[in-house]
């Protein structure tokens, strides 16, 4: 394990077996997003975005929670903000793009491992990952309406694509709490594990993905990103173009040889 200095105890990070694991580490506040945590999170993602030694990302939380979203106690004690509305908008926009936005745009696989609650911005961060694993004691909630807020970090866009427009509307308007098993049944999470098994399951999946065909993963994610934006005929054309590109990669040639030789392929990302 290679620990990474994030500059704060609020965020832990390490790089092991080509898996970058980022741990939100404010268990006393259910890993709510403090300024120190968010700043370190943004910088770590920036430092390791497209890093050749990173093949997959895992985001998780310390203690019994994933992330409770914004720090509501800090919101309640917040004083008058003398920034202009434009300055506040630009600062907020950058914070959201450089966390959930960056994770969603990664061309490597990403996994959110939820040991407990994921609410508000915490749910948005989880949804920005490709795959979500949850402990059986976890629950998810949008939460914004309960504190008179409209949503952030791209939550409406992410939620609509995860569960469909009708269910996304209900979840955002009611802010209801969704237990892990129900979350799996509606597509909010992919698998549910016991609390003791969650970290291992996430790491096992991440290691397998991290050592997979990096270039093919990028093109797969390009295809998926376009899927709700273009028509079927255009999708066929774009997929054909990307398929031809992957056919010329060393990873494809290695996988074909491995299939014939009845062995596991060794991908190099070339």
Amino acid 25: pLDDT = 98
Alpha carbons within 13 A on the beta-carbon side of 53 = 9
Split at pLDDT 50, 70, 90, the class of 204 is very high
Mean predicted lDDT score pLDDT of the chain: 95
* Predicted confidence band of residue 186 (pLDDT cuts 50, 70, 90): very high
Rg of the chain over Cα atoms, rounded to whole angstroms, equals 19
First to last CA, the chain: 25
pLDDT tens by residue, 188-197: 999 999 999 9
Specify the pLDDT at position 78: 59
Q: What's the mean pLDDT in 249-255?
A: 96
Candidates 27, 245, 241; CA nearest to 115 is 27
Give yes or no for residue 229 having a pLDDT over 90. Answer: yes
Domain boundaries, the chain: 2-210, 214-260
In this prediction, residue 71 has a pLDDT band, given cuts at 50, 70 and 90, of confident
Share of the chain above pLDDT 90, in %: 91
- CA 165 to chain CA centroid, Å, is 20
pLDDT at residue 257 above 70?
yes
65: which 2 tokens? 């929670």
Model confidence at 82, in pLDDT bands (50, 70, 90)?
A: confident
The pLDDT value given to residue 199: 97
CB 172 within 8 A of CB 145: yes
What is the arithmetic mean of pLDDT over 84-95? Answer: 92
pLDDT for the residue 83: 82
Cα dihedral sign, 40-41-46-52: positive
Q: Mean pLDDT across the stretch 141-148?
A: 95
What CATH number does the domain located at 2-210 have?
A: 3.90.226.10
Q: pTM for the full model? A: 0.94
| Tokens of residue 113, six digits | 């491992």
Which pLDDT score, from 0 to 100, does residue 70 have?
83
pLDDT band at 163; cut points 50, 70, 90: very high
pLDDT value for 80: 58
Report long-range pairs for 255-260 (Cβ below 8 Å, ≥24 apart): 255/213
Over residues 51-77, the mean pLDDT reads 87
DSSP string for 164-194: -HHHHHHHHHH---EEHHHHHHTTS-SEEE-
Q: How many residues does the chain have?
A: 270
> What is the per-residue pLDDT for 24?
98
User: Is 115's pLDDT higher than 80?
Assistant: yes
Which of 99, 93, 102, 90 lies closest to 121, judged by CA? Answer: 99
**Measured between alpha carbons, how far is 218 from 110 in angstroms, rounded to an integer?**
12
Instruction: Scan for tokens 């494809």, then name that residue.
Output: 252
């Amino acid at each position: 394990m290679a620990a990474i200095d994030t500059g704060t105890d609020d965020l832990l990070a390490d790089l092991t077996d080509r898996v970058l694991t980022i741990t939100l580490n404010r268990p006393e506040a259910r890993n709510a997003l403090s300024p120190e945590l968010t700043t370190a999170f943004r910088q770590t993602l920036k430092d390791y975005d497209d890093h050749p030694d990173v093949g997959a990302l895992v985001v998780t939380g310390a203690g019994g929670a994933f992330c409770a979203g914004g720090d509501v106690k800090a919101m309640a004690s917040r004083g008058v903000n003398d920034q202009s509305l434009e300055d506040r908008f630009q600062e907020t926009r950058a914070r959201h793009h450089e966390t959930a936005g960056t994770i969603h745009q990664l061309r490597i696989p990403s996994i959110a491992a939820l040991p407990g609650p994921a609410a508000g911005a915490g749910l948005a961060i989880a949804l920005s990952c490709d795959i979500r694993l949850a402990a059986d004691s976890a629950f998810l909630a949008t939460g914004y309406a309960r504190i008179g807020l409209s949503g952030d970090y791209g939550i409406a866009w992410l939620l609509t694509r995860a569960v469909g427009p009708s269910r996304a509307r209900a979840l955002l308007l009611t802010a209801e709490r969704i237990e892990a098993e129900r979350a799996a049944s509606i597509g909010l999470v992919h698998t549910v594990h016991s609390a003791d098994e969650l970290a291992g399951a996430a790491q096992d999946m991440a290691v397998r993905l991290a050592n997979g065909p990096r270039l093919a993963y990028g093109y797969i994610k390009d295809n998926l990103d376009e899927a709700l934006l273009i028509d079927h005929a255009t999708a066929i054309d774009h997929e054909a173009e990307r398929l031809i590109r992957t056919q010329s990669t060393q990873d494809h040639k290695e996988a074909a040889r491995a299939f014939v030789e009845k062995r596991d392929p060794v991908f190099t990302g070339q």
